[in-house]
């Protein structure tokens, strides 16, 4: 393994911006698709409010955090205030109601890790998963969306990284690789640490937004319209950032000692988080702190086999960015 290799200057990096931006544009959902999602949400709200007048529906995940590709499914959270609510009962009831309308393939999966109702809307062609009271996901969706509004390079970078991860088969939590959510957090932290910084650390600023969910205090500066232009001192472009991102994860990240923290905008030490050894199934081989559930390591799905796969993929990507004449082609070749 090559470790901590110094990356050499690549003088022709700028000619790579347009091909990378073209890929980004080709993955973005259209306004028409967004409109269809809204239409389906309105339909679901109508049904839900008949049964639970106080309940609210939220979009979360990639359809709402601005990091979603076109033709994605949507994730919806049904929020019911009643603390004693039995999630399985709610989901079964919900499935009954939606079945009665002409929605297709309605299924309640009450025994899943995150219990949901799945369905497909034949009018818009959109598939959807509905969960109950998963409010932390709704709030971390807002955090991601707010970061994306500060500097468009975040969305460009995260799209390229997600597209790479999906093409290379390293976006599969059930196989021990990382979730899309984890990759976006890696991109945010990376841009917080550029010099000059491209993104601020919203959780260390004045708290203009604060909620308490499941005993987690979620607070940060959310008036992001005031932060547009924050990163303008830094002129790095998308091709440079993709290259530096992969070099960082291939050669510079200290896997033995460091934790990526969007909450602090820096890397923390594994020691201070007490993430130095395996506890149960949490091996902490690559550490990415959840911004709100701070005892939660998004790298905990990674095991001793998949860490090798991941690191080899980071190294492959870094090598391609360093030496290939058309990295935007080879980077995304199926594995
Ligand atoms: P994709 O485009 O691949 O579907 P996604 O943004 O929907 O990407 P997922 O990883 O499927 O990403 O996660 C959906 C949402 O669920 C995330 O945006 C996040 O709000 C929440 N989430 C996912 N995994 C976790 C986790 N381990 N801890 C907390 N929240 C999570
Ligand atoms: Mg999703």
Looking at the fold, whether 185 and 282 belong to one and the same domain comes out as yes
Query: Closest ligand to 138 CA?
Result: 1
CA 3 – ligand 1 centroid, Å:
31
Instruction: Please work out whether the CB of residue 72 comes within 6 Å of at least one atom of ligand 1.
Output: yes
Looking at the fold, whether 173 and 281 belong to one and the same domain comes out as yes
Identify the domain containing residue 314 by its residue range.
11-27+151-330
What's the CATH number where 49 sits?
3.30.460.10
Question: With left for phi above 0 and alpha for psi between -120 and 50, is residue 284 left, alpha or beta?
Answer: left
What's the CATH number where 224 sits?
1.10.1410.10
Domain end, chosen from 136, 168, 193, is at 136
Looking at the fold, whether 203 and 281 belong to one and the same domain comes out as yes
The sign one gets for the Cα dihedral 275, 187, 291, 138 is: negative
CA 123 – ligand 2 centroid, Å:
21
Establish whether this prediction's ipTM goes over 0.85. Answer: yes
Helix (H, G, I), strand (E, B) or coil at 103: coil
Instruction: Please work out whether the CB of residue 67 comes within 6 Å of at least one atom of ligand 1.
Output: yes
Q: How many domains does the chain have?
A: 2
Instruction: Please work out whether the CB of residue 161 comes within 6 Å of at least one atom of ligand 1.
Output: no
Could you list the pLDDT tens digit for every one of the 335 residues in the chain? 444 555 567 888 889 999 999 999 999 999 999 999 999 999 999 999 999 999 999 999 999 999 999 999 999 999 998 878 899 999 999 999 999 888 999 999 999 989 999 999 999 999 999 999 999 999 999 999 999 999 999 999 999 999 999 999 999 999 999 999 999 999 999 999 999 999 999 999 999 999 999 888 999 999 999 999 999 999 999 999 999 999 999 999 999 999 999 999 999 999 999 999 998 889 999 999 999 999 999 999 999 999 999 999 999 999 999 999 999 999 999 98
Looking at the fold, whether 158 and 282 belong to one and the same domain comes out as yes
């Amino acid at each position: 393994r090559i470790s901590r290799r110094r990356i050499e200057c690549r003088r022709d990096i700028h000619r790579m911006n347009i091909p990378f931006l073209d890929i980004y544009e080709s993955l973005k959902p259209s306004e028409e698709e967004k409109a269809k999602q809204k239409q389906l949400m309105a339909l679901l709200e109508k049904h839900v409010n008949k049964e639970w007048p106080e309940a609210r529906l939220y979009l979360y995940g990639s359809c709402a955090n601005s990091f979603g590709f076109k033709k994605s499914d949507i994730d919806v959270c049904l929020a019911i205030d009643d603390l004693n609510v039995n999630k399985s009962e709610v989901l079964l009831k919900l499935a009954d109601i939606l079945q009665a309308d002409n929605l297709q393939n309605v299924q309640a999966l009450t025994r899943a890790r995150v219990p949901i109702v799945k369905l497909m809307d034949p009018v818009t062609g959109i598939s959807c998963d509905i969960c109950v009271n998963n409010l932390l996901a709704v709030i971390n969706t807002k955090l991601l969306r707010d970061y994306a509004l500060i500097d468009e390079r975040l969305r460009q970078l995260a799209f390229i990284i997600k597209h790479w991860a999906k093409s290379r088969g390293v976006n599969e939590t059930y196989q021990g690789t990382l979730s899309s959510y984890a990759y976006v957090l890696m991109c945010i932290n990376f841009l917080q640490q550029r010099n000059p910084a491209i993104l601020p650390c919203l959780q260390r600023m004045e708290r203009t937004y604060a909620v308490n969910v499941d005993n987690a205090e979620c607070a940060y500066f959310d008036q992001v319209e005031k932060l547009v232009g924050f990163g303008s001192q830094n002129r790095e472009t998308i091709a440079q950032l993709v290259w530096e991102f992969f070099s960082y994860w291939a050669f510079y990240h200290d896997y033995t000692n460091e934790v990526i923290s969007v909450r602090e905008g820096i890397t923390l030490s594994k020691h201070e988080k007490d993430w130095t050894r395996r506890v149960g199934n949490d091996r902490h081989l690559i550490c990415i702190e959840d911004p709100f559930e701070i005892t939660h390591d998004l790298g905990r799905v990674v095991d001793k086999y998949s860490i090798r796969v991941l690191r080899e993929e980071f190294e492959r990507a870094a090598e391609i960015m360093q030496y290939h004449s058309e990295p935007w082609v080879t980077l995304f070749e199926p594995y």
